Structure 1
Amino acid sequence: MHEEKKQICGNFTIRKQPIRWYVMLLPSSHRGLATGLKEERERRMKYGEPVFDYFAPSYVEVKKIKGKFVKTDCPLLYNYVFIRATVDEIFHLKRNLPQYNFLPKVKGEKEDYYPYLSDRAMENLKWVADSYSNVLPVYVPKSETLVKGDRVRITEGQFKGAEATVVIQPGAGMKDIMVSVENWMLVPLLHVKPGQYEVISLNEDSKHVYSSLDNQRVISRLHGALKYLHHAEGIPETDRQFAREVLSQYGNLRMETDVMRCKLYSILLPAYVLAGDQEAFNALASTVESILPAVKAGQSKALLLVTLYGCTDNSIYYAKAHQLTHSWRMEKNPKKSKLQLLRWLDDFDEWYGHE
C-alpha cells in the first residue's frame, strides 16, 4: 500500500492524504443509479468548486413489454460506487450525501485504511464495465440474412413453439422467405413478425469454393489496420478507402453454409468499422451475436469472437475468444488457420494493452 506523503512546514509535519479510488457503499434499499453524485459534481462545476471523479457503472437491460423492446439503465455493481478523492474530501462530500459510506477499514502493516482500488485496477474495471454498458442495439436477424436450410424456432404468435426450416429464399421473383413449419405447412416469414423467431441452426449441407473468401492480402490488410482504432491520429485514409473497396466487393455476397458465413462476416465486420459505418457494423455484429449459439464449428466460432474482440476491444469477447482458443496453444502441430487466429489474438492484446 502507498503511504501518505509528508510535507514539512516550519516545525510542523503536515500529512498529505493520497488521492485514490475509494470504494463506497450505498444502503441496501438503494437500487437506482448514483444520481446524487452526478448532481453534486455538476453543482461544483457550475460554481467553480473543486470537483471529484466518480465511477458508477451501469448496464442496459432489455425487456419485452407489450410486444415492444424497452431499454433501461441498471446499476452494474449492486450498491457500489467508486470516488476518486482523499478521505477528508469524501467526508466533506458526505455532509450533503450522507447515504454514501466507506467500506469498513482493513488492517495494514503500519495503519488501518479504507479499501481502495489502484489506478491500474480501475482502468481494468472500467474496461469490463464498458463491455456491459456499450451493448449492441436490440436487433432481430432480418429475413434476408437467412438462407435455405437454416432452422428457426417461432417464439411468439400463432405459430409459437413450432420449428421451421427455410425452403425458399428471396430472389427469382420471390419477395419473402418461405419456411416449412412441421413439414407440412409453408408460411411466408413475413407473417412472423421481427422478434417472434430465433435461429437454432444454420445450413451445413451446401459446399462452396473457399478461394473468394480466403484472400490473405485482404484479410491481412484489414487486420493490420485495426491497430489504428485507438490511435490519436485515427485510421489512415488509405486504410479507410481500402475498407470501402472491400465492402463494395464482398458486401452483397450471400453464403449458404455456417462456415462460409462466418468467413464472410469476419471480413465485413472490420471493413465496416474501418470505413466508419457504425450503423452497419452494429447491425451485422448483432446478427453475429444471434447466430453464434447455432455455429457448431469451433474454429468458425473462434474466428467470429476474435474478430469481434479486435473490432470492439470488448472484455466479454476477449474472455470468450481466449477461452475458446486456449487449448490450441497446447497442440503440438496446430493448423495454420489456428496459428493465424492466435497471432491475431496476441496482436489485439498488445494493441489494446491487455495481458
Structure 2
Amino acid sequence: MEMDKETEVWFAMRATYRRELEAMHLLEKANLGCFIPMQYKISIRRGRKVRALVPVIRNLVFVHARPSEVQRFKSQITYLQYITDTRSGQKIVIPDHDMQRFIAVAGTYNDHLLYFQPEELNLSKGTKVRITGGDFEGQEGVFLKVKGARDRRVVIAIQGIIAVAIATIHPDLIEVIK
C-alpha cells in the first residue's frame, strides 16, 4: 500500500570499484531505470586502435525508481551507495526535468561534448539560454566560456554532480531566457 504513494525519482548513486556497468546491468534486470553518462574513447589494445564506449565519470550511476525499490535493491547489492549532499547529509535526488534534459544531451554520445565537475564551472557568470535549432533543439542551459574550448558553449548541469558542455552552437540558434 505504501509503495503506491511513492513516486519514482532520480537518485545519484556511486558503484564502488568501477562496477557501474555491472550495477546498470543488474538494475535493468530488476526493471529499474538507470543512466550512466558515456562517451567514446580511443585506446590501444594489442597494438591496434580500438574505439570503445566508456563511462564519463567512473562509479557514477543515476537510478530512476521509487525510494523503497532502491533501498531493497541496495540491500542486495552492497557496492551501490547513495551520493549525499556534503552540507545537509541528504541523499541527492535530481528533478525529472533536469535529468531528462541531461539525458537528451549526454545520451547522444557526441564526441564534441565536454564534461566537467561542478566546481570547475561558475554557472552564475553565464546567461540562461534555450537552443532553437539543430540536434539539441529545445534544450535549456547556461551559455558561458568553458575550459578547453575556444568559444562559449551551452552547459547543462546536474547540480552538485556533473555538467556537460554542448558542442559549439551558432549564435542564431540560441535565444536568451529572461
When normalised by structure 1's length, the TM-score is 0.31
Residues 40 and 103 of structure 1: CA distance in aligned 2, closer, same or farther (over 3 Å): closer
Verify: 1:58 aligned to 2:43, yes or no: no
Q: Distance in 2 between matches of 1:17 and 1:67?
A: 52
**1:316-335 matches, cutoff 5 A:** 316-317=166-167, 320-321=168-169
**1:203-242 matches, cutoff 5 A:** none
- One-letter amino acid of the counterpart of residue 24, structure 2: L
**Structure 1 equivalent of residue 141 of structure 2:** none
Aligned partners of 1:20 and 1:117 also within 8 Å: yes
Q: Distance in 2 between matches of 1:230 and 1:14?
A: 36
Tell me the alpha carbon deviations over residues 322-344 of structure 1, each in whole angstroms, 9 at most, x when there is no partner.
xxxxxxxxxxxxxxxxxxx643x
How far the C-alpha of 1:20 sits from its partner, in A, is 0.9
Q: Distance in 1 between matches of 2:100 and 2:107?
A: 11
How far the C-alpha of 1:91 sits from its partner, in A, is 1.0
Aligned partners of 1:33 and 1:74 also within 8 Å: no
**Structure 2 equivalent of residue 180 of structure 1:** none
Aligned partners of 1:32 and 1:74 also within 8 Å: no
> Which stretches in structure 2 are left out of the alignment for 5+ residues?
113-131, 138-149, 154-163
**Structure 2 equivalent of residue 38 of structure 1:** 25
Tell me the alpha carbon deviations over residues 278-334 of structure 1, each in whole angstroms, 9 at most, x when there is no partner.
xxxxxxxxxxxxxxxxxxxx9xx99xx9xxxxxxxx9532xx33xxxxxxxxxxxxx
Partner SS, residue 34 of structure 1: helix
Q: Distance in 1 between matches of 2:19 and 2:79?
A: 13
Verify: 1:126 aligned to 2:103, yes or no: yes
Aligned partners of 1:106 and 1:114 also within 8 Å: no
Partner SS, residue 94 of structure 1: helix
Which of the numbers 39, 46, 71 marks the counterpart of 2:51? 71
**1:174-323 matches, cutoff 5 A:** 316-317=166-167, 320-321=168-169
How far the C-alpha of 1:230 sits from its partner, in A, is 8.9
Aligned partners of 1:54 and 1:83 also within 8 Å: yes
**Structure 2 equivalent of residue 23 of structure 1:** 12
Aligned partners of 1:21 and 1:122 also within 8 Å: yes
- One-letter amino acid of the counterpart of residue 22, structure 2: T
> Which stretches in structure 1 are left out of the alignment for 5+ residues?
1-8, 45-50, 137-225, 232-297, 306-313, 322-340
Greater radius of gyration (CA)? 1
Aligned partners of 1:32 and 1:75 also within 8 Å: no
- One-letter amino acid of the counterpart of residue 38, structure 2: S
Verify: 1:116 aligned to 2:93, yes or no: yes
The structure showing larger relative contact order (alpha-carbon pairs under 8 Å, at least 6 residues apart) is: 2
When normalised by structure 2's length, the TM-score is 0.56
Partner SS, residue 89 of structure 1: helix
Residues 106 and 88 of structure 1: CA distance in aligned 2, closer, same or farther (over 3 Å): farther
Q: Distance in 2 between matches of 1:315 and 1:38?
A: 27
Aligned partners of 2:23 and 2:80 also within 8 Å: no
Greater per-residue helix proportion: 1
How far the C-alpha of 1:103 sits from its partner, in A, is 2.1
Verify: 1:104 aligned to 2:81, yes or no: no
How far the C-alpha of 1:121 sits from its partner, in A, is 1.5
Residues 73 and 21 of structure 1: CA distance in aligned 2, closer, same or farther (over 3 Å): same
Residues 18 and 70 of structure 1: CA distance in aligned 2, closer, same or farther (over 3 Å): same
Verify: 1:81 aligned to 2:61, yes or no: yes
Residues 113 and 66 of structure 1: CA distance in aligned 2, closer, same or farther (over 3 Å): closer
Q: Distance in 1 between matches of 2:99 and 2:69?
A: 19
Residues 64 and 86 of structure 1: CA distance in aligned 2, closer, same or farther (over 3 Å): same
Aligned partners of 2:84 and 2:92 also within 8 Å: yes
- One-letter amino acid of the counterpart of residue 33, structure 2: D
- One-letter amino acid of the counterpart of residue 38, structure 1: H
Residues 85 and 106 of structure 1: CA distance in aligned 2, closer, same or farther (over 3 Å): farther
Q: Distance in 2 between matches of 1:14 and 1:67?
A: 53
Identical aligned residues as a percent: 16
- One-letter amino acid of the counterpart of residue 10, structure 2: W
Aligned partners of 1:23 and 1:103 also within 8 Å: yes
How far the C-alpha of 1:33 sits from its partner, in A, is 4.0
How far the C-alpha of 1:84 sits from its partner, in A, is 0.9
Partner SS, residue 11 of structure 2: strand
